């Protein structure tokens, strides 16, 4: 079955690094995604990683994937107050003609000045 889990809340100080963690259960996941949701807005795609990669870096964002442990993390360097939002981890599942994303419950990141 498919299940994606995240911790609910993370608080950091401005300028520190944030690390948001996610675990998933479906070993046939092909792509894993990070989305950001600000209040009153839709989900904004931040980055994604193919399941045969270990790491992907994109400016202040670093994604680490441990496929053996089914663990995904998003590191935000030099976190700013504008990074305060809910961050969703999602996996792409392959099944009989189905390709949709399964989302975690989201991690609320609060950045304190």
Partner 1 sequence: DSGVTQTPKHLITATGQRVTLRCSPRSGDLSVYWYQQSLDQGLQFLIQYYNGEERAKGNILERFSAQQFPDLHSELNLSSLELGDSALYFCASSVGGESSPLHFGNGTRLTVT
CA-CA distance, 74 to 97, in Å (whole number)? 29
Q: Does 24 bind partner 1 (CB under 8 A)?
A: no
Which one of the spans 19-27, 41-49, 60-68, 71-79 is the region binding partner 1 (CB under 8 A)? Answer: 41-49
Looking at residues 56 to 95 of the shown chain, list those that interact with partner 1 (rule: CB under 8 A).
88, 92, 94
Which one of the spans 15-23, 56-64, 66-74, 97-105 is the region binding partner 1 (CB under 8 A)? Answer: 97-105
Distances (CA, A) of 78 to 9, 14, 44, 62, 112: 18, 7, 20, 12, 12
Q: Which of helix, strand or coil describes residue 81? A: helix
- Residues in the chain, how many? 113
Q: State which of residues 42, 59, 69, 113 lies at the interface with partner 1 (CB under 8 A).
A: 42
Contact between 22 and 5 (Cβ < 8 Å): yes
Q: State which of residues 13, 55, 99, 112 lies at the interface with partner 1 (CB under 8 A).
A: 99
Which residues sit at the interface with partner 1, rule CB under 8 A? 30-31, 33, 35, 40-45, 48, 50, 88, 92, 94, 97-106
């Amino acid at each position: 079955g498919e299940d994606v889990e995240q911790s609910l809340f993370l608080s950091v100080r401005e300028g520190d690094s944030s690390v948001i963690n996610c675990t998933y259960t479906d070993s046939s996941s092909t792509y894993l995604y990070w989305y950001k949701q600000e209040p009153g807005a839709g989900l904004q795609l931040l980055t994604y990683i193919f399941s045969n990669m270990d790491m992907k870096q994109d400016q202040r964002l670093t994604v680490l994937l441990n496929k053996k442990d089914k663990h995904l993390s998003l590191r935000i360097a030099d976190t700013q107050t504008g990074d305060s939002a809910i961050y969703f981890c999602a996996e792409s599942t392959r099944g009989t003609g189905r390709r949709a994303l399964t989302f975690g419950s989201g991690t609320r990141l609060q950045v304190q000045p």
